[in-house]
């Protein structure tokens, strides 16, 4: 069942999304899914999903993003297809909850969306072998929008500035433990991004340049992933410019849909 984070009486809580009698509700849990003994809170009322604002579904120490993992996206940006996984970091301060507003910064004149499948780490992972089973290290899967100031990215070979603005990492709405059956639940997932209802990105995780186990191996050869960390797996082709007033919706089959509005950031 999907995991969610939400606010109740001023406290950040974890829960699982459940469905009963044609109603989606949240069952609150004591503890976090990264801890032993995490369990439903006895006697806690069910919280209707429709009236419970969700937070970003994790609180990572780092957000690791894979670049150019779809060859068509690399080509549309005029980049070479990498021979090994290319990755970079987004700051946790860029996180944005489902339903939040992406703010277009004054420093950029061209900001684009990038819909992606992201995984949330369950337990510490270091020097993972690409031939091993990654499932014990993965809590689940979620939608992520790797918002990018494309003009700044073209002028700065280091991606930090172009990718790191506040609100540039919408994520959610929840963490799905198993998007599909089988021993490779990340394979064959459709990724779609719509802006104002128009389908602009459509890809499938089976078209990854580098499969998920190899991504995990490449990243953890450099840095240890901690519980709650995020690994975004790359975006398909079809990126384009965002404007104030737009609504962006990233949908991944078996996972869910992440929707955010867009507005101009206030001047300093």
- Same domain membership, residue 74 and residue 44: no
pLDDT at 64 over 80: yes
Judge contact between 39 and 52, C-beta under 8 A: no
Torsion (CA) 123, 125, 129, 132 in degrees, nearest 10: 0
Cα distances (Å, whole numbers) of residue 117 to 171, 204, 232: 10, 10, 6
Both tokens of 216, joined, read 């995990």
Six token digits for residue 141? 């899967």
- Is residue 40 in some structural domain? yes
What is the residue-wise DSSP string for 182-222? SS-TTTT-EEEEEETTEEEEEEEGGG-SS-HHHHHHHHHTT
Does 125 lie in the same domain as 38? no
Q: What are the tens digits of pLDDT across the range 205-242?
A: 999 999 999 999 999 999 999 999 999 999 999 999 99
- Are residues 217 and 145 part of one domain? yes
Distance CA 167, CA 186 (A): 26
Task: Please tell me the predicted confidence (pLDDT) of residue 157.
Answer: 85
Rg (CA), the chain: 18
pLDDT at 46: 79
**Residue 92 is assigned to a structural domain of this protein:** yes
pLDDT > 90: percent of the chain:
82
Residues 37 and 83 in one domain: no
pLDDT in tens, 155-177: 998 999 999 999 999 999 999 99
Q: Is residue 31 a part of any domain in this protein?
A: yes
- Reading the block at residue 230, the tokens are 């995020």
User: Nearest to residue 53, comparing CAs of 100, 94, 7?
Assistant: 7
Residue 58 within any structural domain of the chain: no
Contact at 8 Å (CB) between 3 and 23?
no
How many distinct structural domains can be found in the chain? Answer: 2
Specify whether 99 is located in the same domain as 77: yes
Together in a domain, 110 and 242:
yes
Q: 95 and 212 share a domain?
A: yes
Is residue 89 a part of any domain in this protein?
Answer: yes
Phi, psi of 177 (to 5 degrees): -70, -35
Angle (CA) 29 31 32, round 5°: 90
Kindly report the average pLDDT of the chain as a whole number.
94
Together in a domain, 47 and 81? no
User: Which contiguous run of DSSP H or E holds residue 71?
Assistant: helix 71-76
Q: Please, which residues have CB within 8 angstroms of residue 44's CB and are 6 or more apart in sequence?
A: 27, 28
Give per-residue pLDDT as tens, 10-34.
Answer: 899 999 999 887 889 999 999 999 9
Residues 246 and 213 in one domain: yes
- Per-residue confidence (pLDDT) for residue 261, from 0 to 100: 99
Is pLDDT of 44 > 80? Answer: no
For residue 57, being part of any structural domain is answered with no
CA dihedral 245, 249, 250, 254 (to 10 degrees): 170
* CB-based contact 236:77 (threshold 8 Å): no
With pLDDT > 70 as the criterion, what percentage of the chain qualifies?
Answer: 99
Residue 30 structural domain: 3-51
CATH number at residue 235: 3.90.850.10
Residue 75 lies in a domain: yes
146 with 38, same domain: the answer is no
DSSP class per residue in 174-186: EEES-SSSSS-TT
Examine residue 56 and state whether it is found in any structural domain, yes or no: no
Residue 124 confidence (pLDDT) above 90: yes
Regarding whether 115 and 248 lie in a shared domain, the answer is: yes
- List Cβ neighbours of 134 (8 Å cut-off, separation of 6 or more): 128, 212, 213, 216
Tell me, yes or no, whether 164 and 219 share the same domain. yes
């Amino acid at each position: 069942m999907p995991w969610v984070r939400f606010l109740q009486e001023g406290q950040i809580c974890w829960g699982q999304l459940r469905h009963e009698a044609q109603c989606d509700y949240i069952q609150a849990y004591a503890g976090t899914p990264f801890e032993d003994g995490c369990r439903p809170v006895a006697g806690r009322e069910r919280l209707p999903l429709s009236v419970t604002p969700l937070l970003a579904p994790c609180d990572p120490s780092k957000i690791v993003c894979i670049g150019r993992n779809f060859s068509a996206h690399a080509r549309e940006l005029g980049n070479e297809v990498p021979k090994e996984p290319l990755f970079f970091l987004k700051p946790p301060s860029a996180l944005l909850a489902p339903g939040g507003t992406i703010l277009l910064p004054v420093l950029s004149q061209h900001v684009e969306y990038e819909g992606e499948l992201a995984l949330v780490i369950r337990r510490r992972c270091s020097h993972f072998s690409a031939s091993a089973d990654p499932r014990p290290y993965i809590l689940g899967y979620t939608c992520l929008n790797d918002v990018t100031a494309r003009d700044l990215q073209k002028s700065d070979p280091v991606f930090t500035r172009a990718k790191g603005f506040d609100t540039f990492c919408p994520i959610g709405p929840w963490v799905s433990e198993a998007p599909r059956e089988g021993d490779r639940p990340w394979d064959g997932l459709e990724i779609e991004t719509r802006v104002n209802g128009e389908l602009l990105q459509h890809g499938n995780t089976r078209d990854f340049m580098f499969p998920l186990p190899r991504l995990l191996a490449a990243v953890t050869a450099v840095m240890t992933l901690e519980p709650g960390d995020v690994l975004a797996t790359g975006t398909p082709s079809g990126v384009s410019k965002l404007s104030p007033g737009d609504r962006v919706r990233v949908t991944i089959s078996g996972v869910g849909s992440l929707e955010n509005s867009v507005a101009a950031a206030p001047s300093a």
